[in-house]
Amino acid sequence: MKLVEDNLRKHTFTHLDALESESIHIMREVAAECKNPALLFSGGKDSIVMLRLAEKAFRPAKFPFPLVHIDTEHNFPEVIECRDKLAADLGERLIVRSLEDSIKRGSIVIKDESKPRNPFQSVTLLETIAEFGFDACLGGARRDEEKARAKERIFSFRDEFGQWDPKNQRPELWDTYNTRVHAGENIRVFPISNWTEMDIWEYIGREKLHIPNIYFAHEREVIRRGGNVIPVSHLVQPKPGEKVEIATVRFRTVGDMTCTAPVESTARTVDEIIEETATTRITERGATRMDDQTSDASMELRKKEGYF
Amino acid sequence: MSNTTQLLRFITAGSVDDGKSTLIGRLLHDSKSIFEDQFSAISKTSEKRGMAAVDLSLLTDGLQAEREQGITIDVAYRYFATPKRKFIIGDTPGHEQYTRNMVTAASTANLVVILIDARKGVLTQTRRHSFLASLVGVPHVVLAVNKMDMVDYSQARFDEIVAEYKVFAAQLGLHDVHCIPLSALNGDMVVDRGDKLDWYKGPALLELLEKVEIDHDVNTSDFRFPVQWVCRPQTDEHHDYRGFMGRIEAGEVSVGDEVTVLPSGWITRVKEIDTYNGKLQTAFAPQSVTLTLEDEIDISRGDMIVKTDHLPPKVEKEFDATLCWLSESPLDKNRKYLVKHTTRTAKALFSRLDYRVDVNTLEQHAAEKLHMNDIARVAIKTQQPLVFDSYEIDRATGSFIVIDEATNNTVAAGMIA
């Protein structure tokens, strides 16, 4: 077996180039084979990487799909600002559908305003898919995030109820993707399945992507509750006995404000975040997503209900 | 051209009894790829189950659906990195439906680690795994002789197994085989060398994975560019722009090269190679690029652009292939299926079933039907011509999937030869 000598190692085509080319290939397959695709875009870092990949896949033309955001209205304002600015700068069509619409329609019933809304996102997503007749939704999920995702295909087939059946997935061989669906069914496509959190940060650095400033270290009012650092907001107020303190933190993920915890950090640049990511000892979701800590199978259950 | 990738995709083949999960766990743990919250979760589970030490095999434990129903879901992908390379592990369970799972995972792998229990030596399943690796054309094979601690780290035992395996591997045409003695349980020769196997002078497993040369895994000689998508912006700025988008599946191309478009046979030259980051003079596999051409030729998705002075691919409606049947519903010779090959999908018929291969004995049997996990030689007729190479020469242009139009399921994987 021939081994690469370290001193001969050449890095002109890096792992990021390989991942990027794979993602572009996947997006073009969706554009070519699906009748009415959409790209799910939240303004978070993974979906910002997805936008750059779509530019690389389709420019100088416009994207062959609209951007769609399912807004929980529990988002950080900085993220929504970034979402709107990026869509406008790119000149692409952004469709926003809010959980509030589903609540008004009665398809979602909220009992407690301060509770996370992630479980309900699938309802509005499925309603939006039906409204526009999307047959494919591109999403920025990664397999390294969570063990349910680790077992999901790049082209993940959903039945007419939007459900994922982990036991009944289509075999996926080589880079030859089966994109076929019957009317009413759809496919979720994850072009960055094979990227890790580190790859995302390295790519953000390399491509100089603009991301919401809450990903960088800043001072913020937080409370400590059950081992988590929780950001104070109009949705989360201290309970009697809880103390508000100012901490220097950054967000590793930006989701629902009531269940996304920041990590204590002084990383103020992408390079500093890369350094921190290389040495961190806790997984991305483990550190930041309280809703994934409730049970060993939280994500798996949400996916089965039609979540991304 | 230098395009050394730092990304290695590999799979592990072996049953639970061979210590496959322990090996993956050990590789992740000793390369410091396990996070604290993951480690604390498996520590708790190990403690609950009354184990004295943390069971690293729990790291590859499955989903709730699997635990509750006692089933295993085919392929899970895991990621880890060292300063030298990034790794993607395709982890397949070793039980039923093994052929289907291994073929699926192996289709994208550069390397397969075949596990052997040092006490048991080369078994039927070792032969099966090796046959499947050769069938799918995985370029590199590592024979990991595990549980060396159970045979007193005996060099004689290792040499005996290696000698037997190498004869078999040569028969299969597996040329690039590297054998490593190791103990996944104790961590010898996985990431660290340990002090029990000093007689072995080769690299430990991780060192090998970091250094194996994979540049030449992609066919670098004959340019192959299946057209994925035609870019026509029709804006004022790009009024007459017609770009052919796709990924270079083999070889390289430069501005000015004479190219042939297949199946039509039109000849033109490459005008520009466009990317988002600017124009390139030369592009190579596996880059995704956009080509513009000197002449206006009718080209659409499914066509393939090749270099005129390169070895041409075949353009045929009939060809022979090795098929791995993946579906629970058997192959029905009276039905039409769809074949998706590169970017072209065509209706297809199976005109002949030559024989089925027993994956354990490699014997050939007559076949009337094909069931899940069957490997067979078949002849296929397609409604439109496909532009292909033999799988041995080019995995990308020699492979296809078969889709059942009624269910839209992927029912088979094919390799043209």
Confirm or reject contact between B212 and chain A (CB < 8 A): yes
Q: Coil, strand or helix: which one is B73?
A: coil
* Closest alpha carbon to B342 in B410, B398, B403: B398
pLDDT under 70: residue ranges of chain B: 1-5, 15-16, 57, 59-74, 94-97, 218-220
Bridge partners, B283 (sequence order): B253
Which chain B residue has its CA at the smallest distance from A196's CA? B79
Q: Shortest Cα distance from B416 to chain A (angstroms)?
A: 14
Rounded Cα distance between B89 and A32, Å, is: 29
Rounded Cα distance between A19 and A46, Å, is: 14
Phi first, then psi: give them for residue B77, nearest 5 degrees: -105, 135
Confirm or reject contact between A58 and chain B (CB < 8 A): yes
Inter-chain touch A56–B288, beta carbons under 8 Å: yes
How many Cβ atoms sit within 10 Å of the Cβ of residue B213? 16
Q: Which of A11, A181, A193 shows the shortest C-beta gap to B408? A: A181
Cβ-based contacts of B31 with chain A (< 8 Å): none
How many Cβ atoms sit within 10 Å of the Cβ of residue A156? 24
Q: Which residues make Cβ contacts (< 8 Å) with residue A130, sequence separation at least 6? A: none
What does the H/E/C string look like for B287-336? CEEEEEECCCCCCCCCCEEEECCCCCCEEEEEEEEEEEECCCCCECCCCC
CATH code of B224-307, in short, is: 2.40.30.10
Top-level CATH class of A16-198+298-304? alpha beta
Confirm or reject contact between B179 and chain A (CB < 8 A): no
Q: Shortest Cα distance from A75 to chain B (angstroms)?
A: 26
Q: Which of A12, A194, A301 shows the shortest C-beta gap to B2? A: A12
Rounded Cα distance between A196 and A274, Å, is: 12
Cβ-based contacts of A17 with chain B (< 8 Å): 5, 287
Q: What's the Rg (C-alpha) of chain B?
A: 24
Inter-chain touch A173–B232, beta carbons under 8 Å: no
For chain A positions 196-225, those within 8 Å of chain B (CB to CB) are 196, 198-199
- Give the total residue count for chain B: 417
Q: How far apart are the first and last CA of chain B?
A: 29
Q: Where in chain A is the domain with CATH 3.40.50.620?
A: 16-198+298-304
Inter-chain touch B7–A144, beta carbons under 8 Å: no
Cβ-based contacts of A10 with chain B (< 8 Å): 2, 4
Distances from the Cα of B129 to the Cαs of A85, B1, B19, B108, B158, in angstroms? 52, 34, 15, 16, 19
* Closest alpha carbon to B41 in B56, B24, B26: B56
Inter-chain touch B2–A10, beta carbons under 8 Å: yes
For chain B positions 247-276, those within 8 Å of chain A (CB to CB) are 247, 275-276
Top-level CATH class of B314-416? mainly beta
Q: Which of B76, B208, B245 shows the shortest C-beta gap to A151? A: B76
pLDDT in tens, A229-282: 888 988 888 888 889 999 999 998 888 888 888 888 999 999 999 888 887 767
Q: Where in chain B is the domain with CATH 2.40.30.10?
A: 224-307, 314-416
Which chain B residue has its CA at the smallest distance from A154's CA? B77
Which chain A residue has its CA at the smallest distance from B302's CA? A32
Element (H, E) at A38: strand A37-40
Confirm or reject contact between A186 and chain B (CB < 8 A): no
Inter-chain touch B4–A11, beta carbons under 8 Å: yes
pLDDT in tens, A186-217: 899 999 999 998 899 999 999 999 999 999 99
Confirm or reject contact between A168 and chain B (CB < 8 A): no
Inter-chain touch B247–A178, beta carbons under 8 Å: no
Q: Shortest Cα distance from B111 to chain A (angstroms)?
A: 11
Rounded Cα distance between B283 and B254, Å, is: 7
Inter-chain touch A25–B245, beta carbons under 8 Å: no
* Closest alpha carbon to B4 in B253, B142, B211: B211
pLDDT of residue A58: 97
Q: What's the Rg (C-alpha) of chain A?
A: 20
CB pairs under 8 A between A and B: 195
Q: Are B27 and B8 in contact (CB under 8 A)?
A: no
pLDDT of residue A10: 40
Q: Which range has the worst mean pLDDT, A11-25, A129-143, B127-141, B207-221?
A: B207-221
Q: Which of A151, A176, A281 shows the shortest C-beta gap to B36? A: A281
Q: Are A68 and A137 in contact (CB under 8 A)?
A: yes
Which chain A residue has its CA at the smallest distance from B176's CA? A1
Rounded Cα distance between B158 and B182, Å, is: 10
Which chain B residue has its CA at the smallest distance from A167's CA? B73
Q: Shortest Cα distance from B203 to chain A (angstroms)?
A: 10
DSSP state of A143: G
pLDDT of residue A296: 55
pLDDT of residue B349: 95
Rounded Cα distance between A43 and A49, Å, is: 10
Cβ-based contacts of A174 with chain B (< 8 Å): 107-108, 395-396, 399, 401
Distances from the Cα of B342 to the Cαs of B151, B233, B276, B303, B314, in angstroms? 48, 24, 23, 9, 14
Cβ-based contacts of A31 with chain B (< 8 Å): 229
| Options 3.40.50.970, 3.30.70.270, 3.40.50.800, 3.40.50.300; CATH of B7-217 | 3.40.50.300
Cβ-based contacts of B63 with chain A (< 8 Å): 147-148, 151, 166, 297, 300
Inter-chain touch B233–A178, beta carbons under 8 Å: no
Which chain B residue has its CA at the smallest distance from A61's CA? B233
How many Cβ atoms sit within 10 Å of the Cβ of residue A266? 11
Please report how many Cα atoms fall inside a 13 Å half-sphere around the Cα of residue A253, on the Cβ side.
Answer: 21
Q: Shortest Cα distance from B185 to chain A (angstroms)?
A: 23
Cβ-based contacts of A286 with chain B (< 8 Å): 35, 37-38
Cβ-based contacts of B76 with chain A (< 8 Å): 147, 150-151
pLDDT of residue B1: 28
Q: Shortest Cα distance from A8 to chain B (angstroms)?
A: 10
What amino acid occupies position A108? Answer: I
Cβ-based contacts of A147 with chain B (< 8 Å): 62-63, 76
Cβ-based contacts of B288 with chain A (< 8 Å): 20-21, 24-25, 28, 56-57
Inter-chain touch A297–B64, beta carbons under 8 Å: yes
* Closest alpha carbon to B2 in B176, B216, B212: B216
Rounded Cα distance between B196 and A147, Å, is: 35
How many Cβ atoms sit within 10 Å of the Cβ of residue A234? 8
